[in-house]
Structure 1
Amino acid sequence: MGNKRNMWISLTAAVLSATLVYGLYQLQRLQMQRQDTVTVIVPGRFIAAGEVIKEEDLGTVQLPYSAYTPEMVTEAVEALGMETVMPLGLGEPMLDWKLNYHNLQPRLSESTFQIPREYIRSISNGIRAGDRVAIYASGEEGVSGRVFRETVVVASVKSSGNMEVDSPEKSHLLSMAEGNMDGMYAARREANAMIEYLNLNLTEQQWLTIDELCTGGATKLVVAYSPESFNRFHAIDERSDGEQ
């Protein structure tokens, strides 16, 4: 009886020991897997070119370090509010060069329209490509007022020589890309050419509204720089400082 009991005790101990060893092996294996992978940001859906990325558009995947490259986005904050330069597929790692801050491309529902000069009464000379502007109607009594509640994005501003209005020394867009806010505003101050041609990213309905207002000539547009442009890039600058 004693030998049988000792046999069962030995067998139970062996099973428990094997279970413990297997559990430790699995734990070590899991830890090694975690150490050998990196979390990257991916689209949670197909995102077309020109869309602005929102929090609900993002997901994550684990990639082995051997598949990771430095241009992959690893933090959601790096993508939020950015505009896609090209389409992004569901589940593909986001690459930073496929995103930009400047919103120069029209979004999915927009096109870039050149506003005829005869439609414009005045343009703020501080406006540059990538800015957000407010559009006002100026004309007969009852017509004057803000045309759109929302601001719209400037795709480009050009002089009478069809040249982009900017600093001759350094583009304000280059300063923005470098996160150099002082350089961006210095470029604005140094640019002194008059704006002759204005291109805006508009929906079809927005363009038709402008065309209907201004076709007769009695009503013209006043294009004003919006503080939303500064607030947006100032927030980006603060975010960049916080990451350093």
Structure 2
Amino acid sequence: MNRRRQASIGLSAAVLAGLLVYGVYELQLRQIRLEETVQVVAAKAFVGAGTKLEPEHLTMLTLPRSAVAREMLTDAKEAIGMETAVPLGSNEPLLAWKIDKYRLLPSKGQSTFQIPREYVKSVAGGIRAGDAVLVYLSGEETPSRKLYERPITVAGVKTAANVEIDDPKNPNLLSMADGDKEAMYASRREANGTIDSINLNLSEEQWLALDSACKGGTAKLIIASLGTTIWETDGEATE
């Protein structure tokens, strides 16, 4: 009887030891997997452009560390309350440049400057607030060149009557937020005036470079439209 009892106890101890070893193995394996993956913020379902993000729009997605890009958000609190600049697909990792709070306002380190009329040689007629523009310098005494390598955000364009240029019946900014290119095109065709002044979001260095180049009157600006909306990251615009 004692032998059977001892055998039973020994078998039970062996089973418990095996389970303990297996449990430790599973914990170690889980820890390794956690170290090799990262949770990033993603859209729970399709989210349209111009949507203010709420907790119900977001979920956490587990990705291999090697697949995580620098601009992916890892904290949902950073996205809540922000506005989507482009549509987001279901389970699409959220990138920092795809959201912003006030896209037409100058970003950190920038100010909105109204460009003096005498500095401007030409402005593309289809430019609207929120657009990306390229700024070139044209002069008789110096070779023409691009003033800034990166696109610049347009804060506003107005007529001589100080009225924002747009189609009152089909505002360009609303169409832009919805990602409706046909409506954006139509609003530009039906705009309510000719551009008389343009406001750009520039850093202090960018403004000083522009002012220094143009204040002598020998060089002027040519402002060309990229025909796309841009979003800012780290004070610079990206397409």
Q: TM-score, normalised by structure 1?
A: 0.62
| Map of 1:136 onto structure 2 | 136
Given that 2:55 and 2:80 are in contact with CA atoms closer than 8 Å, whether structure 1 keeps it comes out as no
Supply the distance in 1 between the matched residues of 2:175 and 2:71 (Cα, whole angstroms).
19
Report whether the alignment pairs 1:7 with 2:8.
no
The one-letter amino acid of 1:160's match is A
The share of aligned pairs that are identical, in percent, is 40
Assess if the C-alpha contact under 8 Å between 2:140 and 2:218 holds in 1: yes
Residue of structure 2 equivalent to 1:126? 126
Aligned AA for 1:9? A
Per the alignment, do residues 73 and 135 of structure 1 end up closer, same or farther by CA in structure 2, a change over 3 Å counting?
farther
1:185 and 1:96 mapped to 2: Cα distance?
Answer: 31
Distance 1:129 1:41, change over 3 A: same
Which residue matches 1:225?
225
Find the aligned partners of 1:212 and 1:94 in 2 and give their Cα distance. 39
Greater share of helix:
1
Unaligned runs of 5+ in 1: 31-38, 43-67, 83-87, 234-244
Cα distance change of structure 1 residues 40 and 112 upon mapping to structure 2, 3 Å threshold: same
**Shift in alpha-carbon separation, 1:117–1:100, aligned structure 2, 3 A:** farther
- Please give the root-mean-square deviation of Cα atoms over the aligned residues, in Å: 3.7
Which residue in the other structure is 2:200 paired with?
A: 200
Contact kept? 1:131, 1:153, Cα under 8 Å: yes
Rounded Cα–Cα distance in structure 1 between residues aligned with 2:147 and 2:225: 14
Question: How many Å separate the matches in 2 of 1:18 and 1:175?
Answer: 66
Distance 1:172 1:13 in 2: 78
Residue 144 of structure 1 and its aligned partner are, at CA, apart by: 2.7
Alignment correspondent of 2:58: 72
- Number of the residue aligned with 2:171: 171
**CA–CA separation in structure 1 for the residues paired with 2:3 and 2:163:** 96
CA contact under 8 A between 1:73 and 1:93: conserved in structure 2? no
Structure 1 residues 173 and 9: CA distance shift in structure 2, 3 A: farther
Counterpart position of 1:236: none
- Spell out, residue by residue over 1:3-52, the C-alpha distance to the aligned partner (whole angstroms, 9 max, x if none): 233113322444537986996xx99xx9xxxxxxxx6629xxxxxxxxxx
Moved more, 178-187 or 97-106: 97-106
When residues 81 and 122 of structure 1 are mapped into structure 2, their CA distance, relative to the original with a 3 A threshold, is farther
Name the one with the larger strand percent. Answer: 2
> Match of 1:54?
none
What's 1:146 paired with?
146
Letter in 2 for 1:11: I
Deviation at 1:224, TM superposition (A): 0.6
